[in-house]
Structure 1
Amino acid sequence: MPLKSKRPRIEPLSPPYDEEAAAALGLLGPSPIQLFRVWARRPELARSIAGWGSYYFSRRSALTLRRRELVIDRTTALCGADYEWAVHVAGFAEKAGLDAAQLASLATGTPADDCWDAADRAVLEAVDELHTTFDLSDEAWARLVAVADEDAALELVLVCGWYHAVSFAVRALRLPLEPGTRPIAAK
């Protein structure tokens, strides 16, 4: 495996931000992480991403916080995206009720691990199947809809795909971990 550079390939913006970048960053959150500051180099890109994020992080999402984080954490772990994994675990794992055994399973385990109930298992099986086959079998779809509903299943597919794209970006950009966060393999 080739060595990965330790330096980001695109430096995140640093304050002071110009007016357009500051406005775009304001849409992405009060404390813009490095990834958002890279996107803000192209404010129109940051604004379009903010529109998607504001939907699925809102109360309008059909996915519960826990299910959304199961999808994101498992997807980023499967993609080896330490940066995004670390940001989500630090920011949402506790709120989503994920314990140490579940985080370890998300990182390196399987949906069959004893720490998962049937509903979580159906979500994780769907994520794993999407990751490996880029599709869902009729059986996986039926199990997912049985524990969620069609709207949540649709959002799961979209969030899983989105976090594949985010994982590609953070890996290719070589973003270092945010302060106070830990990579996937950290115990």
Structure 2
Amino acid sequence: MPLNSKQPRIAPLVPPYDDEAGAALEQLGHAPIQLFRVWARRPELARGVAAWGRYYFSKHAALTVRQRELVIDRTTALCGADYEWGVHIAAFAEKAGLTADQVASLAHGGPDDPCWDAADRALLRAVDELHTTYDLSDPTWTAATDAIGEDAVLDLVMVCGWYHAVSFAVRALRLPPEPGTSPIG
């Protein structure tokens, strides 16, 4: 089946949901997008994802909304995860203060593009290095911790890894774009 197939490999649940799936979707705390409705087929999986997401989308995370979205958007772009890219750009790009040039750079540019400040560059270099080497060199670690702090770098590593997993899932599931979203382009 081609990657851009209109049919997902695992059909998302459709309403009406049984009590357990409905409760799992409610715990996710978001509109029941396709990915969440696939996870809700296994409510215990959905509950685990919800717990993880509550932390990383809370005020307790060390990354700011902007930093979190830079990590997620860059990771999903590097992974070619059109579905997740589209969801995050539609839902969070404006909240994160991303300009059109920055969105384009996340999709097809790099940390050295003129639209980024020094802190954004350090963060994006860390994401790019994690993606290509599965590690952070000492200079990249130092630059990132100098720019955003040690706690935020720990969150960056975890969010980047999580969105690699999410990217794998949405690609392998062949989820078509959500209404009102656009692919990486």
Q: Same fold (TM over 0.5)?
A: yes
In the alignment, does 2:74 pair up with 1:74?
A: yes
Q: Return the alpha-carbon distance in structure 2 between the equivalents of residues 148 and 125 of structure 1.
A: 13
Q: Residues 83-118 of structure 1: CA distance to partner in whole angstroms, max 9, x if unpaired? A: 000000000000000000000000000100000000
Q: Residues 145-180 of structure 1: CA distance to partner in whole angstroms, max 9, x if unpaired? A: 001111100000000000000000000000000001
* Counterpart position of 1:59: 59
Q: Return the alpha-carbon distance in structure 2 between the equivalents of residues 110 and 31 of structure 1.
A: 32
Q: Return the alpha-carbon distance in structure 2 between the equivalents of residues 118 and 23 of structure 1.
A: 43
Q: Which amino acid in 2 is paired with 1:184?
A: I
Q: Return the alpha-carbon distance in structure 2 between the equivalents of residues 27 and 83 of structure 1.
A: 21
* Counterpart position of 1:3: 2
Post-superposition shift, 1:40? Answer: 0.2
Post-superposition shift, 1:3? Answer: 3.0
Q: Return the alpha-carbon distance in structure 1 between the equivalents of residues 30 and 144 of structure 2.
A: 34
* Counterpart position of 1:147: 147
- SS of the equivalent of 1:31 reads coil
- 5+ residue gaps in structure 1? none
Q: Which amino acid in 2 is paired with 1:132?
A: T
* Counterpart position of 1:132: 132
- SS of the equivalent of 1:9 reads coil
* Counterpart position of 1:24: 24
* Counterpart position of 1:95: 95
Q: Which amino acid in 2 is paired with 1:121?
A: R
Q: Mean alpha-carbon deviation: is it higher for 4-13 or for 129-138? A: 4-13
- SS of the equivalent of 1:23 reads helix
Q: Return the alpha-carbon distance in structure 2 between the equivalents of residues 49 and 96 of structure 1.
A: 22
Root-mean-square deviation (CA, aligned residues, Å) is: 0.9
* Counterpart position of 2:167: 167
**TM-score under structure 1 normalisation?**
0.97
**TM-score under structure 2 normalisation?**
0.98
Q: Percent of counterpart pairs with the same letter?
A: 73
Q: Residues 5-61 of structure 1: CA distance to partner in whole angstroms, max 9, x if unpaired? A: 331000000000000000000011242110000000000000000000000000000
Q: Which amino acid in 1 is paired with 2:24?
A: A
Q: Return the alpha-carbon distance in structure 2 between the equivalents of residues 145 and 157 of structure 1.
A: 12
Q: Return the alpha-carbon distance in structure 2 between the equivalents of residues 3 and 22 of structure 1.
A: 31
Question: Which segments of structure 1 move beyond 6 Å, counting only runs of 4 or more?
Answer: none
